Amino acid sequence: MLLAAGMGQAAAPSPREHFGFDIGDDYMLANYTQTEAYFRKVAAASDRFVLQELGKTSEGRSQLMLVASSPANLARLEEYRALSGRMARARDDEATARALAAQGKAVVWIDGGLHANETVGAHQLIETVWQLASRDDAETRRILEDTIILLVHANPDGQELYADWYMREPVPEKRVLDKPPRLYQKYAGHDNNRDFYMAALQETRNLNRAMYTRWYPQIVYNHHQTSPKGTVIVIPPYRDPYNYNIDAMIPVGLEALGSAMNLRYLQEGKPGAVSKRGSVYSTWWNGGLRTMPYFHNMMGVLTEITGNPTPMQIPFIPERQLPDSNLPAPVAAQTWHFRQSIDYSLTANWALLDYASRNREQLLLNIYRMGRNSIERGSRDSWTPSPTALAQAKLAVEKAGRDKGALAAAQVQQLLRQPDQRDARGYIIPADQADFPTAVKFVDALQLGGVEVMRASREFTVAGKKYPAGSFVVRGDQAFRPHVRDMFEPQDHPHDFEYDGGPPIAPYDSAGWTLAYQMGVSFDRVMHGFAGPFEALPIGQLQTPVDLPVAHSSRGYLLDARVNDSVLVINRLLREGVEVRRLPGRDGAFFLPAVPVPQLERALRGTGVRAVVPKGRVEAGEVVHAPRIALWDHYGGSMVSGWTRLVLENFGFDYQVVYPQQILKGRLRERFDVMILPSGALPLPEALAIEGKAGRVPASPDPATIPDQYHPLLGELTAEKVVPVLRGFLESGGHVVATGSSSGLALALGLPLQSHLRTPAAEGGMRALCQREYYIPGSVLQVAVDKSSPLSWGLPSELDVYFSDGRWDNAPVFELPAGRADIRPLLSFAGPAPLRSGWAWGQEHLQGGVLAAEADIGTGRLTFVGTDITFRAQTHGSFKLLFNGLLRAGGSDAAQN
């Protein structure tokens, strides 16, 4: 939405005039209320800016973007925006594209503030706005003429929280950038940069719409902190591996951008820029603000800079004092001031803007060419490289006793171009799958990522299979094919070790994440060209599930337990006092014996859930009561708990957040039916960890440093303190759901279980596996589901789960005692190769292990799950395990017919 276009550049206020200090002054931070007011003033005063509101944040603030360019360009802004999108979509021929590139302007995205504790980001954004408003040198005028600059605030709520927290100390020299009481994004905190392909957060949706459905920037610059010790800033290029779905022009383009930045630093006498293997960052993972652009043919730039409003030290690190290709200009140990970080950030901004200005046409042509490459690959048989396919070809050569170097081209073709391994031409998401409303949410995630999606207007047949009207179709012959493949197909992370036989090199974030797998969406790959009665959906338009008519019935209604959103409907009805039963004989289907049609229609609204009149006799079932839910959190906020909050709210559960002091006071059963202990509430015991990976919980801050009003949030849980309390809660009929590291509660309660991840020790007995033998960072694995348990109602017999303990690390896997009716497995690894997407070194060790189980303790029940079943609000496929546990905890009386 267009809000303001300024008139008259000279009147733009300086930061000192507005904030009362210069940006970068020691001990001074601006909050978002002040920043928003400044952006509005600059836009009103300067003819170089247009102010746009991207949407509201999770806490209701306006999320703003300033568009900067020359006044002449701003007068034709919509024309240039449309041209940028046309180049990115790449549907024109080469000659037309060249003509468009000659007319267009390079679009450069520069954001700040995503991670609010990284305070340089938001403040360099403010200073960049001022410099673009006030500079009148030849370079700045050229940049404004050749480029359109999107200056985007990525996390308004977080800046408000962190700046106010820092500035609460009246004596500047005493100000410390410590942790405030809660997350700096309402639900996700630091994980707000892990949400971009799912777009579960409102701020992410705002940013994705701007980037992938409106502006299509060729360069996306995402500011972060901090750099490795002994350096100043991480710049591109980044370390391998890079994702095999992205176009080769992306890593090559990042080399060029990194060179432009590094050269400018050297020209300005600013040492300390590090790249490549000098940092941990790679281009493998999708889902971050700067990484998802790679899958849209945009060059995503990450910098990680040192800096703090309180002066700090760059330490002396001897190994970082000798120049090499990663760090060509080492920086001396010194006291470092906030303004230096601002200046380094401005240098990086101007380096990219200068590059974009000088290479305007080339940037536009490059995004076009990458888009055309994708369209062409999706229009014919093609094969995306993968380590697995290469390893299979290598093995075939070795078995034949041939010299790899002597293979003819035709033999190579035969080995690496197997027909059954070619890429899909497209994907069909059938409308008749059991949980179609969740499939619609998957389509919405694609839509927010700018993917071109079609919908069938009537029944059709492809490859001999009939599909109903309303099915979704995603074709491969589109510019954003890399993102399409990354959402549907498994990631195949290479085996990446420091040296042969050495420890693994941890990926930056996840190794595998295929969203369709995580969400449990059914789809078919189409391997040949195909057509049908398909209508293109408007780019970025979210799909509202159709409200289905409800027939009048004297026999009640059934809701399918396989549909996640049935739980949302049930929670709405329970809140209104409607009787709800669950039917064990129908896989836990929900039965509503008597509900007026208008009330049921209100509860169904917007869900796409179907209320079916039952046929035949309906069993009595079990009456469902709304559970009283306690959800653990701690001072500063847990991201895992925050994501769980979002999931609970999205599906209509009422809950209360409880902190360690409240838990340790006891008498929990009087207030709660069930307690959720997500990963991080309790440390993972050493006995359940692989070698060297026992967990720990974050230490609570010193109460003397925290205002009295937040003292009730302080403290942490230890097994010694909390086990007696939780045992009493369970024995008196309470339920506990413990996930990730907190699943170790089962062992702390004395249950006779042990880690499955062990191997015979040389000296006898058993020892924990080490990472040289077994290593599975965040990946998607398949487990077998025990369908005899009510906790598995609605789940398939085989389930894809995200495998991580909540720390992007190996999840615990259990070995249960045989013959115990009171300890029952829920999810287990049936075979030696459960990997579906990602990296699983030594995955054969999982066979026979249990990932989730339930145990009776007194009259209560403990459900313990080694992995995070609500991971980043993405794992819709495993949500039912949590939902079933919560609804059973509310009490399930036998109903009377």
Q: What is the mean pLDDT of residues 416-431?
A: 95
Residue 442: burial class (beta carbons within 10 Å; 0-12, 13-18, 19+) = buried
| Domain identity same for 615 and 640 | no
DSSP, collapsed to helix, strand or coil, labels residue 68 as strand
State the Cα–Cα distance between residues 3 and 351, nearest whole angstrom.
Answer: 29
What pLDDT score was predicted for residue 6? 44
Amino acid at 607: T
Q: What 3-state class would DSSP assign to 761?
A: coil
CB-based contact 629:891 (threshold 8 Å)? no
Domain assignment present for residue 512? The answer is: no
Q: Are 275 and 237 in contact (CB under 8 A)?
A: yes
Do residues 208 and 229 make contact, with C-beta atoms less than 8 angstroms apart? no
CATH number for position 192: 3.40.630.10
- Which amino acid does the sequence have at 668? L
Nearest Cα residue to 105 out of 133, 77, 128, 126: 77
Indicate if the pLDDT at residue 318 is higher than 70.
yes
Q: Residue 781: inside a domain, yes or no?
A: yes
Give the model confidence (pLDDT) of 688-733 as tens digits: 998 877 777 778 999 999 999 999 999 999 999 999 999 999 999 9
Tokens read off for 645: 């909050």
For residue 657, the cross-strand partners are: 631
Q: CB-based burial of residue 417 (10 Å sphere; 0-12 exposed, 13-18 middle, 19+ buried)?
A: middle
| Nearest in space to 625 (alpha carbons), one of 880, 889, 862, 897 | 889
Q: Name the domain count of the chain.
A: 3
Contact 298, 367 (CB under 8 A): yes
Give the model's pLDDT for residue 271.
99
Helix (H) or strand (E) holding 291: none
Are residues 633 and 617 part of one domain? no
Average pLDDT over residues 180-184: 98
Who has greater pLDDT, 442 or 10?
442
Number of CB atoms found within 10 A of residue 760's CB: 9
CA 775 to CA 811: how far, in whole Å?
10
- Tell me, what DSSP letter sits at residue 211? I
- 226 prior amide bond cis, ω within 30: yes
Statement to judge: residues 645 and 724 lie in one domain: yes
Single-letter code of the amino acid located at 589: A
Residue 111's alpha-carbon distances to 151, 155, 355, 364, 691, in angstroms, are: 6, 10, 17, 20, 40
Task: Give me the torsion for CA of 406, 410, 415, 419, rounded to 10°.
Answer: 180
DSSP 8-state symbol, 541: P
Alpha carbon 152 to its chain's center: 20
Place of tokens 């992995």: 867
By CB atoms closer than 10 A (0-12, 13-18, 19+), residue 797 is exposed
| Statement to judge: residues 575 and 685 lie in one domain | no
Locate tokens 């998957």: which residue?
A: 442
For residue 764, with 0-12 CB atoms within 10 Å meaning exposed, 13-18 middle and 19 or more buried, which class applies? exposed
- Please report which helix (H) or strand (E) contains residue 719, including its range: helix 719-731
Q: What is the pLDDT of residue 268?
A: 99
pLDDT exceeds cutoff 80 at 897: no
Residue 824, exposed/middle/buried by CB under 10 A (0-12, 13-18, 19+)? middle
Q: Is residue 495 a part of any domain in this protein? A: no
Same domain, 166 and 230: yes
For the chain, the average pLDDT equals 96
Q: Tell me if 561 sits within 8 A of 587, measured CB to CB.
A: yes
Question: Is 379 a domain residue?
Answer: no
CA angle 444, 449, 454 (to 5 degrees): 55
Give 536's contacts (C-beta < 8 A, 6+ positions apart): 452, 453, 454
The pLDDT value recorded for residue 414 is 81
One domain for residues 612 and 735: no
Q: What is the pLDDT of residues 565-617, one digit of tens each?
A: 999 999 999 999 999 999 999 999 999 999 999 999 999 999 999 999 999 89
Average pLDDT estimate for 792-796:
99
User: Is 601 within the bounds of a domain?
Assistant: yes
Q: Strands of 821-859 (E only): list them.
A: 823-828, 835-837, 850-857
In this structure, the answer to whether residues 562 and 677 fall within a common structural domain is no
- Do 819 and 737 belong together in one domain? yes
Domain enclosing residue 72, as ranges: 2-306+336-373
**pLDDT tens readout for residues 774-785:** 999 999 999 999
Q: How far is residue 695 CA from its own chain's centroid?
A: 23
- Got the DSSP string for 783-813? EEE-TTSGGGTT--SEEEEEE--SSSSPPP-
Strand partners, 592: 557
pLDDT of residue 544: 87
Q: How confident is the model at residue 7 (pLDDT cuts 50, 70, 90)?
A: very low
Span between the terminal Cα atoms of the chain, in Å = 57
218 vs 294: CA distance, rounded Å: 10
Whether 741 and 595 map to the same domain: the answer is no
Tell me, yes or no, whether 489 lies in a domain.
Answer: no
Distance of CA 499 to the CA centre of its chain: 30
Q: Please give the radius of gyration of the chain, using alpha carbons only, rounded to the nearest integer.
A: 28
pLDDT, tens digit (0-9, with 9 covering 90-100), for 342-401? 999 999 999 999 999 999 999 999 999 999 999 999 999 999 999 999 998 888 888 777
At 427, phi and psi to the nearest 5?
-140, 140
What pLDDT is recorded for position 190?
A: 98
Confidence of residue 670 (pLDDT cuts 50, 70, 90): very high
Asked, as a colleague might, if the bond just before 241 is cis with ω within 30 of 0, I would say: yes
CA 281 to chain centre: 16
Residue 4: pLDDT over 50: no
CATH of the domain at 884: 3.40.50.880
Whether residue 748 is found in the same domain as residue 864? yes
Integer Cα distance of 670 and 285 in angstroms: 45
Over the stretch 133-170, which tens digit does the pLDDT of each residue have?
Answer: 999 999 999 999 999 999 999 999 999 999 999 999 99
Question: Are 620 and 637 contained in the same domain?
Answer: no
**Are the beta carbons of 484 and 474 closer than 8 angstroms?**
yes
Question: Phi/psi of residue 581, each to 5°?
Answer: -125, 160
Band (pLDDT 50/70/90 cuts) for residue 804 is confident
Name the nearest CA neighbour of 861 among 852, 848, 873, 870: 852
pLDDT at 412: 75
**At 375, phi and psi to the nearest 5?**
-60, -45
In-domain check, residue 572: yes
Final residue in a domain of this structure, among 320, 353, 373: 373
Domain boundary residue, one of 567, 600, 624: 624
Rounded Cα distance, 12 and 48, in Å:
10
Whether 341 is in a domain gets the answer yes
Q: Pull the structure tokens for residue 664.
A: 């340790």
The domain boundary residue, chosen from 624, 644, 673: 624
Residue 680, both tokens:
């991080």
Same domain, 678 and 587: no
